[in-house]
A and B are shown apart, each in its own frame.
Chain A
Amino acid sequence: MKPAHRRWLFLAGAAGLAAFYLWGLSGLPGFGNYPGPYGPAILRIAVAQTHATGVVSAVNFEYRGFDTVGEEFILFTAAVGMAIVLRTLRRERERSPVDEAKDRDAPPTSEAVRTVALLFTGPVVVVGWWLASHAQTNPSGGFQGGVVLATAFILIYLAGEFLTFRGFSPAHITDAVEAIGAGGFAAIGLAAVCLGLPYLYNFLPLGETPGAVSSSGTIALISFFVGLEVAAAFILIISEMLEQTLLIRSGGD
């Protein structure tokens, strides 16, 4: 195909895309206008029905809890897939975690990085834990809390060595925590079924005061399990990536 033809083909395609795009834009509701019935309905009933003042969490872990189970297992599957793809193959042998390529462009960890990372590790753990366990009261949740918790372990890696990182998050414990997190969510749903209720039905007592940490029944519990799962999955993914650099293929490059 000649360049001129290609250009015309591109222009025709781009014109078509622009036309459809503008057509779609013109059909959008006005800025800030939400025409659907669900938003107002949820806002009216959510706090009274679930005793959770974090309405987004109430939607995530209660009204559409079934979708969230699916999302939970997306991350679980991703971490498991990563562990399988990056497993130690038969032709690979593990190198000791000591840096063998001394000549590579890796400056030593500066004291500044080390100090800041160590200073932040504790507070980051507290914030992550708080986020994961307060989904029912304010904007937060297991997902955000889990990622923040995982960040604390990355700070440990930044401040020290891979060995310290692995010492703080041994693979078998991380694997177990990930499984407990993912399985816990599904198990809460099944517990409701065992009681003769629909899957993921909020069967726990909702607590007296909406907005108290102990309120909202299964919402708080599910959020906590999601936090465990997400934290473990992120740590697993990062440590798999780090471990990968310690492997050398025998006979290969």
Chain B
Amino acid sequence: MSVAVVTPYTVPVGLMDTLQVTLLVLVAAGATAVVLIRRRVRQVLVLSVYGIMLAVLFLAFQAPDVTLSELTVGAVALPIVLLLAISKTRKKEE
């Protein structure tokens, strides 16, 4: 960062670094959780939460456009498609 633009909304650098590192760790943990969970419906719900975390991560890295895309696709559209597929294909076995 060569040019530092300070606005009334500027977050102190140390705080921003902490936030970014925290979010990176959370996203790594969330991704691992999605892979490790075996129950399908639960997995989809965790995937949705993971999508939200990823969206917040993008926001903290100054990419609000990508945040919106991730929120709509990762946290809403993909889980809905998966849930529909699961609910329509599963039999009474569970």
Contacts and interface: CB of A to CB of B under 8 A. Distances in A.
Contact of A105 (B68, B71, B84, B92): B92
B88 interface: yes
Contacts of B91: 104-105
Contacts of A150: 77
A240 to B, nearest CB: 11
A64 B76 CA distance: 28
A106 interface: yes
B72 interface: yes
A131 interface: yes
Contacts of B1: 32
A151 B48 CA distance: 14
Contacts of B68: 131, 139-141, 144
Contact of B72 (A32, A151, A244): A151
A103 B92 contact: yes
A144 B92 contact: no
B31 interface: no
Interface in A120-143: 131, 139-141, 143
Interface residues of A, number: 25
A234 interface: yes
Contacts of B73: 147
Nearest to A143: B69
Contacts of B81: 237-238, 241
A234 B65 contact: no
B25 to A, nearest CB: 16
Nearest to B93: A105
B51 to A, nearest CB: 12
Interface in B52-71: 64-65, 67-69, 71
A242 interface: yes
Task: Count chain A CB atoms within 10 A of each CB in B65, B77, B81, B85 and give the residue with the most.
Answer: B65
A56 interface: yes
A141 B77 contact: no
Given A103-B92, A104-B91, A241-B84, A151 B65 contact: no
A250 interface: no
B87 interface: yes
5 contacts: A139-B65, A144-B65, A144-B71, A151-B80, A238-B80
